[in-house]
Amino acid sequence: MLNLEEFRSIELPEEGVLMKDWSGDLTKPLVSVLCNTYNHARYIEDALRGFLIQKTNFPFEVIVHDDASLDETKDIVLRYVNRYPRVIKLIAQKENQYSKGIKPTTLSFPFSQGAFIALCEGDDFWIDEYKLQKQVVLLKQREEVAICVHSCHALEPSGRIVECYISSPQSIEFDAQDVASKLGQYAPTASYVMRRSVVETIPEWFNKTAVGDFYWELNGSTIGKGHYIKDVMSVYRLGAIGSWSSNFSKDFTSTILRNSSNWLEDLDRVENEPRFSRLDVSKRRSLHCYYIALARILDGDYCRYRQSIELSFKIFPGLSKAQVSLFYARRVPFFSRLLAKKIIKK
């Protein structure tokens, strides 16, 4: 299991040492790492450290997009820019763009040069020094693969480290239906290394989506194959300040209603998009109807709770034991609410 103290004690190479094994035109990076950050002063150095321990035989660049952070994130990044001016670039917004409905990756991507694009949010980080090398070698050898992902650790706010996003105990290929059928993300965002074409062909409505990660996975495994590496090579930080998971916990039921309603709109877009139209997204649609039912019973909205849980069951019966239990308890409001509270505590 990961030892954070050991990771943070690794001596970072000077820029010349980092670049010493690079071949080809050093002014034209093969990989562009896009790191989106906002109020990540507590975490951004772990992300930068993960980039700078990478050992590759090709040039790469790191583009940090700071979305008008209100803390010291920008100042911390600038210190690294001064130390690694040929590797790290900073894009600093004066006004927060995410609040305007603009996905940060669409803002940082135009500044990139790489044939391959890697993603890592400012509160996540890489822990395998050969992560990029492994994924890029695979993408270069396998032209049919458009997106390469891997497993990760999860870092809880308590400091406890657990494994997550273990899609398979073995390295495997996956396709768009595998992504569509999985109830959560197929893989962690910090694991993505994609061909440039995956970003270039993302649908125009991408900025309207509730959560963007799913669409990188979906688009990548639609225009080509997806490949999952079983190696654990990154860390996903749970409940980080400024993250979706921390915002989710502030107002549980209203956040569920808003997020799942947005997801249902997104799934309509998926079904109406020609390249995705053959995919079966019923399992995901049923899941978000179930989430909405859960929020409504907790809020005491019994009528719409019944409508939502019945719709969830109709779309995909047997989604989970919790869904089935709420469906059969739907005519008894008091028991349904007790059941919902029990489900939430788990």
**Shortest CA distance to 44 belongs to which of 80, 10, 84?**
80
Residue type for position 315: I
Query: Do the beta carbons of residue 315 and residue 289 sit within 8 Å?
Result: yes
Tell me how crowded residue 204 is: count the other CB atoms within 10 A of its CB.
8
Looking at residue 163, what is its pLDDT?
A: 73
Q: What percent of the chain has pLDDT over 70?
A: 96
The pLDDT tens digits of the residues spanning 300-341 come to 999 999 999 999 999 999 999 999 999 999 999 999 999 999
d(CA 57, CA 239): 35
Looking at residue 241, what is its pLDDT?
A: 54
Which residue is listed with tokens 């949010």?
121
pLDDT surpasses 60 at 250: no
The pLDDT tens digits of the residues spanning 13-71 come to 999 999 999 998 999 999 999 999 999 999 999 999 999 999 999 999 999 999 999 99
pLDDT band at 346 (very low <50, low <70, confident <90, very high): low
Looking at residue 151, what is its pLDDT?
A: 92
Q: What is the DSSP letter of 125?
A: E
Looking at residue 179, what is its pLDDT?
A: 95
d(CA 280, CA 17): 49
**Shortest CA distance to 15 belongs to which of 28, 26, 30?**
26
Looking at residue 111, what is its pLDDT?
A: 96
Looking at residue 240, what is its pLDDT?
A: 62
The pLDDT tens digits of the residues spanning 191-243 come to 999 999 999 999 989 988 877 899 999 999 999 999 999 999 999 998 765 44
The pLDDT tens digits of the residues spanning 57-101 come to 999 999 999 999 999 999 999 999 999 999 999 999 999 999 888
Looking at residue 5, what is its pLDDT?
A: 87
271-306 exposure pattern, b = at least 16 Cβ within 10 A, e = fewer: eebeebeebebbebbbbbbbbbbbbbbbbebbeebb
Looking at residue 168, what is its pLDDT?
A: 77
Every domain range in the chain assigned CATH 3.90.550.10? 4-241
The pLDDT tens digits of the residues spanning 94-136 come to 999 998 888 999 999 999 999 999 999 999 999 999 999 999 9
d(CA 22, CA 58): 4
Tell me how crowded residue 16 is: count the other CB atoms within 10 A of its CB.
8
Task: Count how many residues are written for the chain.
Answer: 346
The pLDDT tens digits of the residues spanning 275-285 come to 998 999 999 99
What the block records as the tokens of 253 is: 């039921």
Assign 3-class secondary structure to 249-303. CCCHHHHHHHHHHHHHHHHHHHHHCHHHCCCCCHHHHHHHHHHHHHHHHHCCCHH
Query: Do the beta carbons of residue 238 and residue 43 sit within 8 Å?
Result: no
Domain at 4-241: CATH code: 3.90.550.10
Query: Do the beta carbons of residue 77 and residue 153 sit within 8 Å?
Result: no
Looking at residue 164, what is its pLDDT?
A: 73
What the block records as the tokens of 286 is: 């049923």
Taking each helix axis as running N to C, give the angle between helix 321-328 and helix 282-298, from 0 to 180 degrees, rounded to the nearest 10: 50
Containing 29, the helix (H) or strand (E) segment is none
pLDDT surpasses 50 at 246: no
Looking at residue 74, what is its pLDDT?
A: 97
Looking at residue 244, what is its pLDDT?
A: 41
Q: What percent of the chain has pLDDT over 90?
A: 79
Which residue is listed with tokens 């919790």?
322
